[in-house]
Structure 1
Amino acid sequence: MTSSAARREILVFTEGEKTEDGYLLPWRRAYRDAVLLEIDPFHGVPLSLVERAVATKKAEARDERRGRGRAHDEIWCVFDINSHPNVPEAIQLAEAHGIGLAISNPCIELWFILHFRDQTAYLSRHEAQSAASALLGCGKTLTRPAMELLYNGYKDARDRARRLDAKHDGDGSPPGSNPSSSVWSLIEAIRAQRL
């Protein structure tokens, strides 16, 4: 077992309070020897999340320079596109400050759908939520069997999400168009075995 001092530390800010936290729980458990995955209690719209993440990163860097603790190795924000205002500003701010982004368009339920099947056509948030609920057999609060299905289906979902990115790139759609999800990039950061 790796000592806790050697573990990478990742701080995640999530838009929602239940679904994203539930999804990340099996990843937190599976990689706990290599990564300390912490979910911040603050939740909000994309720009608020990113602003809080940037402020946290700056405060941690300042404290670390003063010998008061260690800054997280990575800070991420997880949010949906939905119809949120200021998403481009949130993305730009995150990129300017080295904050990782795991964005789903229209919502995280699209990411869940990708664990089971391809989804190349546009879909509304309500359509995505309904389809994910049917596939997982639960609503926004993920059950243990749903979490296991998602954990075990990760590689298929990642591959499908990457193919969606390539599809959008190939047809000239803007990056992150509906449907798309970059949640896989956060999971890859958690799974990375850099020590």
Structure 2
Amino acid sequence: MARNIPAAPSLKRSVQTIDPKVEIYIVCEGKNTEPTYFESCANYYGNGLVKVKPLPGAGVPLTIVQTAKDLKEKLTDSRNKQKIKNSFDSCFRVWAVFDRDEHPEVERALAIAAESKIDVGFSNPCFEIWPLLHLIEYGSQDGRHAVQKRLSSEMPNYDHERAAIIDFDLIKENFGTALIRANKLQAAREAENCIHGCPSTNIGKLVEKIVQNGKKGTKKL
């Protein structure tokens, strides 16, 4: 007589999915470096509560800011039509991320962003100074090539010419240290009455938003 044999219990764990509570749209200058880094930040610091949506390779600073401005207006109109209960600030944010580098009309781009209430992640001379501050205290007034070269020496897996991808695992535990160092640079530039001078970066403010919104029970954005 055939016996009813109970099915073996599944060895797969049930995975609880968490809907992101905050969406951060990041209009980037870079095609790989910045998008990959910010996605890693969201995955590690965001605890499933933060969704990063990069728009890579958006062009020069003025174009980046205009793209961010248009995107913000489009998203705001869309959500107003859907009658979403949450306010703009608690749902999403749009950031423009670009460098001083050798770009034209940087000051104009910064002014338009401020007027349009677009958050800006700005680095002078280049984005690479931010991951470098995770590894060393750096205050030299160097150009971007020197900063990128120094990052390569401190981060062996980074090669700006071949694979300009930040080794996130190497620096992920040093965010607090990097933020302190970046704030010191910013304070020095403010004392010189040149808040966007070299060297400086405020990318830490964007990462800090990811960290803060990744904590359950905290006020969002």
TM (norm. structure 1) is: 0.89
Is the 1:22–1:147 contact (alpha carbons within 8 Å) kept by the matching residues of 2? no
**What is the rounded CA distance, in whole Å, between the counterparts of 1:41 and 1:120 in structure 2?**
28
Task: Tell me if the contact between 1:164 and 1:179 (Cα under 8 Å) persists in the aligned partners.
Answer: yes
1:168 matched to 2:189? The reply is yes
Q: Please give the per-residue CA displacement for 1:107-154, whole angstroms capped at 9, x wherever unaligned.
A: 01111221111222211111001001111112133568x211222221
**Cα 1:105–1:41, aligned 2, differ >3 Å: closer, same or farther?**
closer
1:1-195 matches, cutoff 5 A:
3-4=18-19, 7-30=21-44, 31-67=46-82, 73-137=92-156, 138-140=158-160, 141=163, 146-170=167-191, 172-193=192-213, 194-195=219-220
How many aligned positions are there?
Answer: 192
Structure 1's 150 and 142: CA in aligned 2 closer, same or farther, altered over 3 A? farther
| Larger of the two Rg values belongs to structure | 2
Greater shift after overlay, 61-70 or 19-28? Answer: 61-70
CA distance in 2, matches of 1:143, 1:62: 35
Q: Where in structure 2 are there 5+ consecutive unaligned residues?
A: 1-15, 214-218
Q: Which whole-Å deviations, capped at 9, do the CAs of 1:82-103 have from their partners, x for residues lacking one?
A: 1101111111111112211111
AA matched with 1:167: A
Matched residues in 2 for 1:75 and 1:134: separation? 33
Distance across 1 between alignment mates of 2:30 and 2:83 = 30
Tell me if the contact between 1:26 and 1:151 (Cα under 8 Å) persists in the aligned partners.
no
Residue by residue, what CA displacement relative to the aligned partner does 1:40-89 show, whole Å, maximum 9, x if unpaired? 24521111111001001111112222228796521011111011011111
C-alpha distance in 2 between matches for 1:41 and 1:176: 23
Letter in 2 for 1:127: A
Identity, in percent, stands at: 26
Deviation at 1:25, TM superposition (A): 2.6
CA distance in 2, matches of 1:42, 1:167: 31
SS at match of 1:9: strand
Query: In structure 1, the residue corresponding to 2:82 is in which secondary structure?
Result: coil
The root-mean-square deviation of aligned C-alpha atoms, in Å, is 2.1
The structure richer in helix per residue is: 1
The structural deviation recorded for 1:2 is: 7.4
State the 1:11 CA deviation. 0.5
Q: Which amino acid aligns with 1:179?
A: P
Ranges of 4+ aligned residues in structure 1 off by more than 4 Å: 68-72
